[in-house]
């Protein structure tokens, strides 16, 4: 993935953090770019910098992926013949108590984190299959695996974590479907990352210059380093800070055990609940 001939990469959520780091790294590796985000000023500044530093061709698309018209416009660009890599990085969190967070914000979380990611992947994959090359990287988060853990220190996150759980399952299942084709699919699941993500719940982008939330975390550059290395080696699930990659295999084994529950007979413990003498 180092030659200019690889084509064009589309990166959503490219105006800061992990998305901006993908843009920098890919431009340095010889990719041309389409950068998508809500903040026109930041996109323009990043595009100018990358053109000057790397000679890459850089387009910008100012878009709110929760808006159906904006999403359709970006999807049309993703479906173009030159796009060989899609990085679905855009995401918002909508953190807060489920019963109290504004319902419109939670809808926006679903629209950006689930609907847009799915629509853009659907726009990309058929054309990648036709051309015989391509890759999709979906950015999730380790909160996808935090379902039963209580808030404190973790955020109140029911909808956000649910959307990231979708991203993990969607990507893993799609990767299995596309096994044996020239199209690769990856989900990267960082933990706390040193970006500005926690400075906003997502109603509007963080204003001003890029900065990092007080919680800190792994540098965005390290997240992208892990993701690109995993994409080259064929890892479908990339957890940048996880020393033991075998954990993912053990997760798959547990899932296989859970699927044994698809038998014809109800488990004995449920029969006992209905008839204690059974």
Q: Which residues are catalytic?
A: 160
Quick one: 266 exposed, middle or buried, by C-beta within 10 A (0-12, 13-18, 19+)?
Answer: exposed
Tokens of 115: 């609907």
241/19 Cα distance (integer angstroms): 18
């Amino acid at each position: 993935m180092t030659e200019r001939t690889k084509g064009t990469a589309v990166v959503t959520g490219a105006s800061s953090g992990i998305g901006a780091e993908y843009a920098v790294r890919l431009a340095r590796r010889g990719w041309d770019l389409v950068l998508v985000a809500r903040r026109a000023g930041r996109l323009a500044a990043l595009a100018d910098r990358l053109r000057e530093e790397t000679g890459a061709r850089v387009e910008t698309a100012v878009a709110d992926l929760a808006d159906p018209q904006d999403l359709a416009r970006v999807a049309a660009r993703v479906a173009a013949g030159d796009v060989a890599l899609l990085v679905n990085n855009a995401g918002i969190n909508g953190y807060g108590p489920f019963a109290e967070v504004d319902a419109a914000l939670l809808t926006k979380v679903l629209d950006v984190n689930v609907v847009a990611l799915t629509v853009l992947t659907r726009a990309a994959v058929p054309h990648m299959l036709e051309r015989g090359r391509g890759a999709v990287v979906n950015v999730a988060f380790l909160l996808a695996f935090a379902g039963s853990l209580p808030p404190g220190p973790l955020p109140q996150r029911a909808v956000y974590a649910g959307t990231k759980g979708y991203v993990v399952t969607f990507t893993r299942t799609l990767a299995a479907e596309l096994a044996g084709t020239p199209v690769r699919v990856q989900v990267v699941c960082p933990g706390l990352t040193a970006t500005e993500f926690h400075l906003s719940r997502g109603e509007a982008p963080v204003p001003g210059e890029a900065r990092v939330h007080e919680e800190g975390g792994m540098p965005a550059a390290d997240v992208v380093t892990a993701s690109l290395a995993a994409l080259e080696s064929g890892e479908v699930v990339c957890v940048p800070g996880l020393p033991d990659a075998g954990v993912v295999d053990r997760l798959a084994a547990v899932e296989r055990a859970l699927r044994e529950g698809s038998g014809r007979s109800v488990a004995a413990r449920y029969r006992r609940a209905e008839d204690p003498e059974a």
